[in-house]
């Protein structure tokens, strides 16, 4: 037996026991002839002591130990003189009788402790060492716990875990596919799935009425902050259900995950908000409802007073930032520059200071009487001491900018505590989204989402305004300003699916070539069905109170999509290329 206990296990009750421990040497300290060793494994750290009176050979071995040596020790648990309340094992130490060096280590390139002194790149290169650090071990332990909760809940609810293929067919709609050349079919390519969407729907056609999978998905996107080219989804689908059934089932799953993994009770039932309200009041389809600061439409109050900036736009909206009336000229200028950054995109910022003495001071005082300024401030529910921030433009665009500004002010005001959880469902999404650039509709969720039955009449209309009005039984699960998952009730009828492709400007031939299999499957008795998928990496990160998903993935890629540890992607041999019948064009010189 290599060990009788882990390094996180021994307590005062164990005093007097003879134990065998194994682990990594975190630190060796000498103190007046005694040698102290911190021994670490993923369960914790235990202090080992080699007494000054120990045999010379043992003292010598103890002194020769370096950081990250792997050792096995036999010794007795004793009560510590100087207890350490910060450590779970801090009341005891082990008086060592024997040390067996199981393996040496070269000096690690950074400290392997709670906080490391290593930069991101070096830690990524030595990910296997970074993974020895407690914060990462806690992150992966949380991920494991959540995965177990998901499996146990869904199993109890009668879901079957079924795997779907990774080598599939390229159907670029949405993100770009990763493709894999086929040696056995020269000139042809597989694609890696962006999600198992069509397969899970086919499983419904096959009668597996409750399916789930914790599954890897692949999207070849430019990696905006905190995205990974391969990521994990909790993917689910159910037959003979309405939206209500899906929401109840997965709210239940989330409730169990919150309770059992992090001891948090979430409301029952969860709040729901329509997509339209989310946009109107929060300027985002993933509102952070941990705080108010709602957006108010003040168009009618702002227009018609000779201020041409407001008079020439569709919409004027505002938020009230609590206690910010004391912002200085300089701070207001900086905030104005901030909203003008391309990430926000505003042309300028108008403000009203609601002074503590009940007076108002705005940046557009010359166009409005004090009463008119007051009316605008009141419309935004601003109190004395608040700062009203006003943006304008096309309605949805201006609301989105106000949404970004609201989050910024929420951050500044400390309203976004990662330990506070405010989950909700966003429902009633529009089915389609018009894109001015390409002059076509795109599916807001994906092309398999069904229109609401009561909106079908508009779905079959050729008028753009009608199509824009069609809503879907589509839903997103949103937590603290992040979309953690989403899904919809699906189309299960071949003709309606054809119509959807037609609306999306996909020709009959193209639809047949790319999606013929699913249109055909729907002709063989497809049941009504719906489902959703959660982004598992992000679920883990938010449950862990973190914003970045990288710590919750054992071997993630960097922002360039590279795994710097194994140095991938990389070139392949000419023989491999020949087998695949591929030629690499020389990179163009610029």
Which residue among 90, 393, 410, 487 contacts ligand ASP (CB under 6 A)?
Answer: 487
Residue 322, token pair as written in the block:
């609590």
Asked if 488 interacts with ligand ASP (CB under 6 A), we say yes
351 vs 429 by CB, closer to ligand ASP: 429
174 vs 181 by CB, closer to ligand ASP: 174
Residue 577, token pair as written in the block:
């290329």
Q: Which stretch binds ligand ASP (CB under 6 A): 4-12, 114-122, 255-263, 527-535?
A: 527-535
* Closest of 536, 439, 478 to residue 195, by C-alpha: 536
Which residue among 92, 533, 542, 553 contacts ligand ASP (CB under 6 A)?
Answer: 533
- Cβ-contact 216, 230 below 8 angstroms: yes
Q: Which stretch binds ligand ASP (CB under 6 A): 8-16, 101-109, 364-372, 480-488?
A: 480-488
Q: Which stretch binds ligand ASP (CB under 6 A): 13-21, 262-270, 436-444, 486-494?
A: 486-494
Cα diameter, the chain? 93
* Closest of 487, 484, 492 to residue 539, by C-alpha: 484
Binding to ligand ASP by CB under 6 A, coded x per residue (else -) over 184-203, reads -----------x-x------
Residue nearest to ligand ASP as judged by C-beta position = 195
3-state secondary structure 109-158: CCCCCCCCCCCHHHHHHCHHHHCCCHHHHHHHHHHHHHHHHHHHHHHHCC
Q: What is the DSSP letter of 245?
A: H
Q: How far is the CB of 254 from ligand ASP (least distance, A)?
A: 15
Asked if 532 interacts with ligand ASP (CB under 6 A), we say yes
CA distances from 513 to 206, 484, 517, 583 (A): 22, 32, 9, 27
364 vs 472 by CB, closer to ligand ASP: 472
Counting residues that bind ligand ASP (by CB under 6 A) gives: 9
Q: How far is the CB of 286 from ligand ASP (least distance, A)?
A: 14
Q: Which stretch binds ligand ASP (CB under 6 A): 75-83, 254-262, 485-493, 554-562?
A: 485-493
Question: Edge-to-edge, what's the strand order for the sheet holding 529-535?
Answer: 160-161, 210-218, 230-239, 529-535, 482-489, 474-479, 423-427, 272-274
Asked if 171 interacts with ligand ASP (CB under 6 A), we say no
What's the CA gap between 178 and 181, in Å, rounded?
Answer: 10
Kind plus residue range of the DSSP H or E element containing 532: strand 529-535
Q: Which stretch binds ligand ASP (CB under 6 A): 38-46, 158-166, 272-280, 529-537?
A: 529-537
Q: How far is the CB of 155 from ligand ASP (least distance, A)?
A: 19
* Closest of 265, 267, 249 to residue 257, by C-alpha: 265
Helix (DSSP H) and strand (DSSP E) numbers for the chain: 18, 22
- Cβ-contact 285, 424 below 8 angstroms: no
Q: Which stretch binds ligand ASP (CB under 6 A): 339-347, 361-369, 483-491, 503-511?
A: 483-491
44 vs 531 by CB, closer to ligand ASP: 531
Please enumerate in sequence order all residues whose Cβ is within 8 A of that of 366, keeping only pairs 6 or more positions apart, or say none.
Answer: none
Which residue among 531, 538, 550, 551 contacts ligand ASP (CB under 6 A)?
Answer: 531
Kindly give the pairing relationship between strand 160-161 and strand 92-103. Answer: unpaired
Q: How far is the CB of 148 from ligand ASP (least distance, A)?
A: 22
Q: How far is the CB of 84 from ligand ASP (least distance, A)?
A: 47
Q: What is the DSSP letter of 279?
A: I
5 vs 488 by CB, closer to ligand ASP: 488
91 vs 476 by CB, closer to ligand ASP: 476
Peptide bond into 376 cis (omega under 30): no
Peptide bond into 269 cis (omega under 30): yes
Asked if 232 interacts with ligand ASP (CB under 6 A), we say no
197 vs 400 by CB, closer to ligand ASP: 197
531 vs 544 by CB, closer to ligand ASP: 531
Asked if 486 interacts with ligand ASP (CB under 6 A), we say yes
Asked if 283 interacts with ligand ASP (CB under 6 A), we say no
Q: How far is the CB of 521 from ligand ASP (least distance, A)?
A: 17
89 vs 488 by CB, closer to ligand ASP: 488
What's the CA gap between 94 and 5, in Å, rounded?
Answer: 12
200 vs 406 by CB, closer to ligand ASP: 200
Please enumerate in sequence order all residues whose Cβ is within 8 A of that of 378, keeping only pairs 6 or more positions apart, or say none.
Answer: none
Binding to ligand ASP by CB under 6 A, coded x per residue (else -) over 424-453, reads ----------------------x-------
Contact residues for ligand ASP, defined by CB under 6 A: 195, 197, 446, 486-488, 531-533
């Amino acid at each position: 037996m290599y060990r009788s206990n882990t390094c996180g296990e021994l307590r005062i009750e164990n005093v007097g026991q003879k134990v065998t421990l194994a682990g990594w040497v975190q630190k060796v300290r000498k103190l007046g002839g005694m040698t102290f060793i911190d021994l670490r494994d993923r369960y914790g750290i235990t202090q080992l002591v080699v007494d000054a009176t120990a045999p010379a050979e043992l003292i010598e071995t103890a002194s020769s130990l370096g950081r990250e040596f792997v050792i096995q020790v036999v010794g007795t648990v004793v009560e510590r003189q100087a207890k350490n309340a910060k450590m779970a094992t801090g009341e005891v130490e082990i008086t060592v009788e024997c040390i067996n060096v199981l393996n040496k280590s070269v000096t690690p390139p950074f400290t392997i402790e709670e906080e490391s002194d290593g930069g991101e790149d070096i830690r990524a290169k030595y990910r296997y060492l970074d993974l020895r650090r407690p914060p990462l071990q806690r992150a992966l332990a949380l991920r494991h716990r959540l995965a177990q909760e998901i499996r146990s809940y869904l199993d109890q609810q009668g879901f079957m875990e079924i795997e779907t293929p990774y080598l599939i067919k390229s159907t670029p709609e949405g993100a770009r596919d990763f493709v894999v050349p086929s040696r056995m079919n020269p000139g042809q390519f597989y694609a890696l799935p962006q999600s198992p969407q069509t397969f899970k729907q086919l499983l419904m056609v096959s009668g597996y009425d409750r399916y789930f999978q914790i599954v890897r998905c692949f999207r070849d996107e430019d990696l905006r902050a905190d995205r990974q080219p391969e990521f994990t989804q909790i993917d689910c689908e159910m037959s003979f259900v309405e939206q209500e059934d899906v929401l109840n089932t997965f709210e239940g799953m989330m409730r169990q995950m919150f309770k059992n993994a992090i001891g948090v009770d979430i409301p029952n039932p969860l709040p729901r908000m329509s997509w339209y309200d989310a946009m109107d009041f929060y300027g985002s389809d993933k509102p952070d409802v941990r705080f108010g600061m709602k957006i108010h439409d003040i168009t009618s109050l702002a227009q018609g007073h000779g201020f041409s900036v407001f008079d020439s736009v569709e919409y004027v909206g505002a938020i009230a930032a609590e206690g910010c009336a004391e912002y200085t000229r300089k701070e207001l200028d900086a905030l104005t520059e901030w909203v003008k950054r391309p990430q926000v995109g505003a042309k300028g910022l108008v403000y009203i200071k609601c002074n503590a003495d009940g007076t108002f001071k705005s940046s557009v005082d010359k166009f409005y009487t004090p009463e008119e300024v007051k009316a605008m401030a009141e419309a935004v529910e601003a109190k004395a001491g608040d700062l009203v921030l006003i943006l304008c433009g096309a309605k949805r665009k201006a609301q989105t900018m106000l949404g970004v500004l609201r989050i910024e002010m929420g951050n500044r005001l400390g309203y976004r505590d990662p330990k506070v959880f405010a989950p909700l469902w966003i429902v009633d999404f529009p089915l389609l989204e018009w894109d001015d650039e390409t002059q076509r509709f795109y599916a807001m969720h994906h092309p398999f989402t069904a229109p609401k039955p009561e909106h079908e009449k508009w779905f079959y209309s050729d008028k753009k305004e009608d199509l824009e009005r069609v809503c879907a039984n589509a839903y997103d699960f949103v937590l603290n300003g992040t979309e953690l998952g989403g899904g919809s009730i699906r189309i299960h009828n071949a003709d309606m699916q054809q119509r959807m492709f037609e609306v999306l400007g996909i020709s009959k031939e193209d639809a047949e070539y790319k999606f013929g299999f699913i249109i055909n499957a729907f002709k063989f008795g497809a049941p009504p069905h719906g489902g959703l998928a959660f982004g598992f990496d992000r679920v883990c990160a938010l449950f862990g109170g973190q914003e970045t998903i990288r710590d919750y993935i054992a071997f993630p890629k960097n922002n360039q999509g590279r795994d710097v540890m194994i140095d991938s992607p990389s070139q392949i041999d000419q023989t491999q290329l020949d087998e695949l019948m591929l030629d690499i064009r020389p990179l163009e010189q610029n």
